[in-house]
Copies of this chain bind each other. A is one copy, B any other.
Amino acid sequence: MARYSPSVQNLISKLGSLPGIGGRSAQKLAFFILSMSSEEADALTGAIVEARKLTKKCGCCQNFTDSDPCPICSDPKRDRSIVCVVETPRDVSAFERMHEYNGLYHVLHGVYDPVKNTNMNDITLTELFGRLTEHPEIKEVIVATNQTAEGNATALYIARLLGPSGIKVTRLASGLPMGSDIVFADDLTLASALKGRKQIGN
């Protein structure tokens, strides 16, 4: 005998295919969804359908938006000479939360993975290079991909391809997080902090 009815099993498997949702969470979510009132369930499925219908990618920065160009790309107060390349829309939100960056963005929707041999078109690299050609006012590209093997590979890949263009390619500094203890730092972070040490005082 199957543990759950086919429709419940299907719901559990669909929920379990979402990122960060394991088998037990999927079961818990499925039974929660079954226990919801009709209004709550309709609001949930409605929110999915509505967000997918209204949301498109900005033709310029490729971030998700419901107006094209997005509010950031169409903001005249933004510095158009600098583009920060990030992996996901959530990274844009992290930068905006900081209130320290006034340039534009480019969302890759992924990273270049040399092992999987990601294609230029799997992430929005073609759009990035097209954009840099069309907008000669862009002088600097900050590659703010994650500090992972794939994030670093993406940064090197972009730097290599942009080499002849004369556009400055930079990478965010790596090192010890603010407020952190050296004792708890992993070796790679500590090595990177040592390598990037800066002179203080005179």
**CB-CB nearest in chain B for A89:** B31
The prevalent SS among residues of A at the interface is helix
Any B CB within 8 A of the CB of A138? no
User: Which stretch from A3-11, A129-137, A163-171, A172-180 is at the chain B interface?
Assistant: A3-11
B-side contacts of A51, CB under 8 Å: 7-8, 10-11, 30, 33-34
Question: A28 CB to closest chain B CB, in angstroms?
Answer: 6
The quantity of this chain's copies bound in the complex is 2
A14:B47 contact, CB within 8 angstroms: yes
Any B CB within 8 A of the CB of A76? no
Any B CB within 8 A of the CB of A35? yes
Question: A159 CB to closest chain B CB, in angstroms?
Answer: 26
Question: A62 CB to closest chain B CB, in angstroms?
Answer: 12
Which listed residue (B1, B31, B50) contacts A7, Cβ 8 A?
B50
A43 to B49, CA, bound (A): 12
Any B CB within 8 A of the CB of A96? yes
Residues of A within 8 A of B (CB): 1, 3-8, 10-11, 14-15, 18-21, 25, 27-36, 38, 41, 43-45, 47-55, 64-67, 71, 88-90, 93, 96-97, 109
Counting from the closest, the 8 A-B pairs by CB-CB distance are A11-B51, A14-B47, A5-B66, A7-B54, A7-B51, A11-B47, A45-B45, A3-B93
